[in-house]
Amino acid sequence: MALVLNEEQQMLKESAQGFLSEHAPVSELRAQRDAGSDRGYSSTLWSQMVNMGWAAILVPEEYGGLAFGHVGMAQIVEQSGRTLTASPLLSTAILGVTAINFAGSEDQKTELLGAIAGGELTIALAVDEKIHHDPMQTAMPAVAKGDGYVLNGEKRFVVDGSTADKLIVATRTAGSPGDMKGISLFLVDRTASGVSVQRTEMLDGRNAAIITFTDVEVTADAMLGEQDRGFRALSATLDAGNAHLAAELLGIAQESFDRTLQYMKERKQFGALIGSFQALQHRTAHWWSEIEMCKSVVLKVLQSLDEEDLKGPALASIAKAKLCEVAELSTNEAIQLHGGIGMTDEYEIGFFIKRARPAQMLFGDYNYHANRFALISGY
Amino acid sequence: MSDLHVFRQESRDWLEENCPQSMRSPVIAGEGACWGGRNWTFASEDQKLWMERMGAKGWTAPDWPTEYGGGGLDKAQHKILKEEMARIRARSPLDSFGIWMIGPALLKFGSEALKQQHLPAIIRGEIRWCQGYSEPNAGSDLAGLQSKAVDMGDHFIANGQKVWTSYGDKADWMFCLLRTDPDAKKQMGISLVLFDMETPGVTPKPIKLISGSSPFCETFLDDVRVEKDQVVGEVNQGWTIAKYLLTHEREMIGGMGLTGAGSKTLGAIAAKTVGTTDGRLNDLFMRTDIARWEIDAAAFAFTAERVTDEAKAGQGIGATSAMLKYYGTELNKRRFETMLKIGGSDDLIWDGDISNNGWTARTLLRTKGNSIEGGTSEVQLNIIAKNILGLG
Ligand SMILES: Cc1cc2nc3c(=O)[nH]c(=O)nc-3n(C[C@H](O)[C@H](O)[C@H](O)COP(=O)(O)OP(=O)(O)OC[C@H]3O[C@@H](n4cnc5c(N)ncnc54)[C@H](O)[C@@H]3O)c2cc1C
Ligand SMILES: Cc1cc2nc3c(=O)[nH]c(=O)nc-3n(C[C@H](O)[C@H](O)[C@H](O)COP(=O)(O)OP(=O)(O)OC[C@H]3O[C@@H](n4cnc5c(N)ncnc54)[C@H](O)[C@@H]3O)c2cc1C
């Protein structure tokens, strides 16, 4: 398949660009943050996104969706990286939809996917238990009791966990931490008895949560997929999540670059535009080349997800690792080349590093994915 | 079945029938590479057969027009042919500055007579070319070149010195930049001319490289007669053509960052030399270096693919050869630094069987030239900054 966007994907990219730069520019994120919003995103904006069909992009047609694919969805995500738009798109319309579509029963799909597409349901994925991502180490027990299960334990870095209607929780029903087998996924209402949510505002002004489960009882039909075999669904969900995080980081890297390049053509020191200094030109040219590499890995993994080929996991790790590296480079160079003004809260360039770091760390940073890629490659 | 499916099947059948078994393994360290030309000694009968068969079919230059003996393939077919060759690990039938550099320039700027004269011989591997661009005082600043050609009415007489002429002592013809108007501004008075290396007054002298071999020469020009009909394009208008040719050279050199199909991954090689425990290499720092390199190499390979696909779809920015050259050569240098560490002290042995005659060490040394030849990395960064990013 040619490594380019088709016409429909290109059109979606342009309409996302238009909509987000008008309705959700960086100044909106600042406004949310300064207002101390509990949600971390604007419900009005989310309704508008739902109305445009964005929550339905990954939902199959038979469940009321558009089935427009990952490449299409990522055009929106990439633009939202440029505008630093906060919304439940990732947790609900990407992670939620992927997990339910991959593992859900016919009833679950019918009920939940339609509700997501229609904007009536939001989801959060609760997977990490420690401060570093490592899903195979899932330890939180879910113990069979009667015809249901009892969940006990704590999840961290649950993005949108304080606002989502339902949580998808990774638990252990057999084996020990480190085993691929024995992991099961459950759908749990955020407001269920025994679920206690501590909202944590992150440096990007958005929400995550530390969620404690104390004797939380769920019925058997709350299980998503088969008992003990949840790891495949979880992996597929995380691969999709990482591919889209890579797309968001690409947007962040590009926007930081574009703004800096523009600044280099305006700022004068020593009687000359700083863009005329070769020391900065070479750094900028290298930086630009790295972003070119990123465009290719991101498109590659998205196409592979749409084609459901076997290279998905390796490509997801390549893409996430590369984008972690380059988003870091990008946001750092952006501040450095802006000089003192880049350090101020008043100027927007500093917002990019603050969104990049959580996006890098969510579901595995460079080190995690380089290691995973090496393991997949047999070394 | 679509036309492309038919083409794939036909190509597969043809390759199956015509590619000798011994030509179905990667060329290692340039050993087994075929350069053709009048002075070429074939390494084997198979090598000769493979070059001749592919040459006759036009597939040594798959996308050149059939009227000059090329394959006449469009971009989609060309991609398929590459995939089918990679599938059976078929090696390149012919490495050639003719195909990579002067051919594309002739196709775009050459007269019909020059095309007819030179292209078929390039495609069939009969004439080997060398590049006479650099001079002792004109490297990065190529337009500062001083070797000159004086108009004698029906011909030119050339004098001067070229340097770093790769394979100058083995080539049959040279494409050469000469100053034809000494009074014009730097870039304005330069012409691109062609001459036979056997012309009296042309003297290539090999220079030994740090890798121990002598692939390039200094080439002296003393009263060399250059025919008027061997000027490519207009007299004094050679600079534009020279730059066009350089973009092809850069893409070719940048392509060295691509690991050939069928070659072993660094991870697989290291698994043998340092061993593994629970699926991880025993040297964890080496493992990190390898993973970093392989992630970047994958990103580069996808970028080469994307740039090609964008060109095909009429998208993209075009001026990417500088980026591919810069990134690909820096990547290739890192690859061999990593390889040497994987190979350990045995790979430091300069001659003999243990190290396959110092293959890794010598190749590592040779790769240092990748970011110099065809325009240095710094020059590529200058081009990106100026032409793509608009930084003055
Ligand atoms: C946290 C902080 C505290 C500070 N405290 C003080 C203080 O107490 N008192 C005070 O007086 N100042 C203070 N400063 C100001 C500081 O000294 C300046 O920010 C610094 O000198 C850079 O100047 P600039 O911000 O105007 O950036 P610019 O000079 O505009 O530089 C922008 C970019 O261009 C690059 N650049 C500029 N010229 C060249 C060149 N010739 N070649 C290559 N690159 C070039 C710079 O390296 C930078 O990357 C502080 C700054 C910060 C960030
Ligand atoms: C293996 C090999 C094969 C070659 N084959 C051929 C061949 O077949 N035919 C041919 O004509 N030539 C050939 N060359 C020559 C090659 O094109 C030149 O070496 C190259 O253009 C650099 O020129 P130079 O060696 O004079 O270095 P210089 O131009 O003197 O450069 C020295 C250093 O200064 C840096 N520099 C120069 N100008 C700038 C600038 N404006 N900004 C920042 N940095 C700068 C360079 O990047 C480099 O690091 C070959 C070279 C090598 C190494």
Q: A331-351 pLDDT, tens per residue?
A: 999 999 999 999 999 999 999
Ligand closest in space to the Cα of A279: 1
Question: Is the pLDDT confidence value at B306 over 90?
Answer: yes
* Ligand 2 binding site (Cβ under 6 Å of any ligand atom): B 131-134, 139-140, 164-166, 216, 369, 372-376, 378-379, 382
Per-residue confidence (pLDDT) for residue B260, from 0 to 100: 61
| A374–B306 C-beta distance less than 8 A | no
In a domain, A109, yes or no: yes
Interface pTM, i.e. ipTM? 0.96
Identify the weakest region by mean pLDDT among A51-55, B212-216, B273-277.
B212-216
In a domain, A1, yes or no: no
| B313–A4 C-beta distance less than 8 A | yes
B345 shares its domain with B275: yes
B196 shares its domain with B276: no
Total residues found in chain B within this entry: 392
pLDDT category of residue A45 using cuts at 50, 70 and 90: very high
B317 shares its domain with B228: no
Tokens coding B191: 């012409």
Question: Is the pLDDT confidence value at B12 over 80?
Answer: yes
- A55 to chain B, closest Cα gap in Å: 29
Per-residue confidence (pLDDT) for residue B254, from 0 to 100: 80
In a domain, A336, yes or no: yes
In a domain, A186, yes or no: yes
B282 shares its domain with B381: yes
For residue B112, count CB atoms less than 10 angstroms from its CB and return exposed for 0-12, middle for 13-18, buried for 19 or more. exposed
A172 shares its domain with A263: no
In this prediction the pTM is: 0.95
B199 shares its domain with B282: no
In a domain, A2, yes or no: no
Q: A82-132 pLDDT, tens per residue?
A: 999 999 999 999 999 999 999 999 999 999 999 999 999 999 999 999 999
B89 shares its domain with B207: no
Q: Check if B276 contacts A (Cβ < 8 Å).
A: yes
A101 shares its domain with A179: no
Per-residue confidence (pLDDT) for residue B317, from 0 to 100: 60
State the average pLDDT over residues B136-143: 95
- B189 to chain A, closest Cα gap in Å: 29
* Domain boundary, last residue among B69, B95, B121: B95
Q: A162-221 pLDDT, tens per residue?
A: 999 999 999 999 999 999 999 999 999 999 999 999 999 999 999 999 999 999 999 999
Q: Check if B382 contacts A (Cβ < 8 Å).
A: yes
Which residue of B95, B366, B372, B386 sits with most ligand 2 atoms within 8 Å of its CB, as the best mutation to test the pocket? B372
pLDDT category of residue B79 using cuts at 50, 70 and 90: confident
A53 shares its domain with A66: yes
A357 shares its domain with A253: yes
Domain containing A248 equals: 231-376
* Domain boundary, last residue among A200, A224, A248: A224
A100 shares its domain with A60: yes
Contact B197, B97 (CB under 8 A): no
B292 shares its domain with B220: no
Per-residue confidence (pLDDT) for residue A37, from 0 to 100: 82
State the average pLDDT over residues B284-308: 95
Domain containing B287 equals: 258-388
Q: Which residue has the higher pLDDT, B212 or B102?
A: B102
* Residues B131, B104: Cα–Cα separation, whole Å: 14
Asked whether A269 lines ligand 1 (CB < 6 A), one says yes
Contact B38, B172 (CB under 8 A): yes
Contact B23, B90 (CB under 8 A): yes
Nearest by Cα to A68 from A76, A57, A53 = A57
State the average pLDDT over residues B225-244: 95
Among B276, B306, B312, select the one facing A295 at the smallest CB separation.
Answer: B306
Q: A226-251 pLDDT, tens per residue?
A: 999 999 999 999 999 999 999 999 99
Q: Where are the alpha helices (DSSP H) in chain A?
A: 7-23, 26-34, 43-51, 69-83, 97-103, 106-108, 114-117, 231-264, 278-307, 312-338, 349-361, 366-376
Helix/strand/coil percentages in chain A, nearest 5: 55, 15, 30
In a domain, A327, yes or no: yes
Among B298, B303, B386, select the one facing A292 at the smallest CB separation.
Answer: B303
Tokens coding B113: 């007579």
Looking at the CA of residue A338, tell me the nearest atom of ligand 1: 32
Per-residue confidence (pLDDT) for residue B76, from 0 to 100: 87
pLDDT category of residue A133 using cuts at 50, 70 and 90: very high
B214 shares its domain with B281: no
Question: Is the pLDDT confidence value at B318 over 60?
Answer: no
A243 shares its domain with A363: yes
* Residues B51, B123: Cα–Cα separation, whole Å: 10
Question: Is the pLDDT confidence value at B10 over 90?
Answer: yes
In a domain, A84, yes or no: yes
Asked whether A336 lines ligand 1 (CB < 6 A), one says yes
A239 shares its domain with A367: yes
Report chain A residues whose CB lies below 8 A from the CB of B310.
3-4
State the average pLDDT over residues A285-309: 97
A114 shares its domain with A132: no
Among B309, B326, B392, select the one facing A3 at the smallest CB separation.
Answer: B309
Question: Is the pLDDT confidence value at B30 over 80?
Answer: no
Residue A178 falls in which region: left (phi positive, over 0), alpha (psi -120 to 50) or beta:
left
In a domain, B105, yes or no: no
Report chain A residues whose CB lies below 8 A from the CB of B379.
none
Contact A301, A246 (CB under 8 A): yes
Note the Cα B100 to chain centre separation in Å.
Answer: 6
Question: Is the pLDDT confidence value at B186 over 80?
Answer: yes
Per-residue confidence (pLDDT) for residue A90, from 0 to 100: 98
Tokens coding A302: 């998205």
Q: What share of chain A has pLDDT > 90, as a percent?
A: 96
Chains A, B: CB pairs < 8 Å: 122
In the block, residue with structure tokens 């056997």: B198
pLDDT category of residue B26 using cuts at 50, 70 and 90: confident
How many domains does the structure of chain A reveal? 3
B19 shares its domain with B67: yes
State the average pLDDT over residues B203-226: 94
Residue B14 falls in which region: left (phi positive, over 0), alpha (psi -120 to 50) or beta:
alpha
Asked whether A340 lines ligand 1 (CB < 6 A), one says yes
A250 shares its domain with A362: yes
Question: Is the pLDDT confidence value at B196 over 90?
Answer: yes
How many domains does the structure of chain B reveal? 3
Q: Which residue has the higher pLDDT, B185 or B119?
A: B119
In a domain, B159, yes or no: yes
In a domain, B211, yes or no: yes
pLDDT category of residue A358 using cuts at 50, 70 and 90: very high
B228 shares its domain with B317: no
In a domain, B339, yes or no: yes
With a CB-CB cutoff of 8 Å, which residues 301-320 of chain B face chain A? 302-303, 305-306, 309-310, 312-313, 315, 320
Per-residue confidence (pLDDT) for residue B250, from 0 to 100: 86
Per-residue confidence (pLDDT) for residue B261, from 0 to 100: 54
Residue nearest ligand 1's atom 4 by CA: A340
Looking up residue A313, the CATH number of its domain turns out to be 1.20.140.10
B291 shares its domain with B372: yes
Looking at the CA of residue B377, tell me the nearest atom of ligand 2: 47
Beta strand extents in chain B (DSSP E only): 129-132, 148-151, 155-166, 173-179, 190-196, 202-207, 216-227, 231-232, 276-277, 280-281
In a domain, B119, yes or no: no
Looking up residue A170, the CATH number of its domain turns out to be 2.40.110.10
Q: What is the mean pLDDT of chain B?
A: 93
* Domain boundary, last residue among B172, B207, B237: B237
A20 shares its domain with A111: yes
Question: Is the pLDDT confidence value at B70 over 90?
Answer: yes
**Which chain A residue has its CA at the smallest distance from B312's CA?**
A2
| B268–A292 C-beta distance less than 8 A | no
* Domain boundary, last residue among A224, A249, A271: A224
Report chain A residues whose CB lies below 8 A from the CB of B312.
2
| B291–A373 C-beta distance less than 8 A | yes
B370 shares its domain with B296: yes
Looking up residue B53, the CATH number of its domain turns out to be 1.10.540
Give how far Cα B24 sits from Cα of A254, B48, B89, B123, Å: 42, 14, 5, 21
Looking up residue B335, the CATH number of its domain turns out to be 1.20.140.10
pLDDT category of residue B247 using cuts at 50, 70 and 90: confident
| A288–B302 C-beta distance less than 8 A | no
Q: Where are the alpha helices (DSSP H) in B181-265?
A: 238-254
| B287–A374 C-beta distance less than 8 A | yes
A364 shares its domain with A265: yes
Start-to-end Cα distance in chain A: 29
Q: Check if B83 contacts A (Cβ < 8 Å).
A: no
Q: Which residues of A touch B (CB under 8 A)?
A: 2-4, 261, 264-265, 273, 275-276, 278, 280-282, 284-286, 288-289, 292-297, 299-300, 318, 321-322, 370-371, 373-375, 377-379
A15 shares its domain with A112: yes
Identify the weakest region by mean pLDDT among A224-233, A246-255, B208-217.
B208-217
In a domain, B91, yes or no: yes
Per-residue confidence (pLDDT) for residue B43, from 0 to 100: 93
* Domain boundary, last residue among A224, A257, A281: A224
State the average pLDDT over residues A145-168: 97
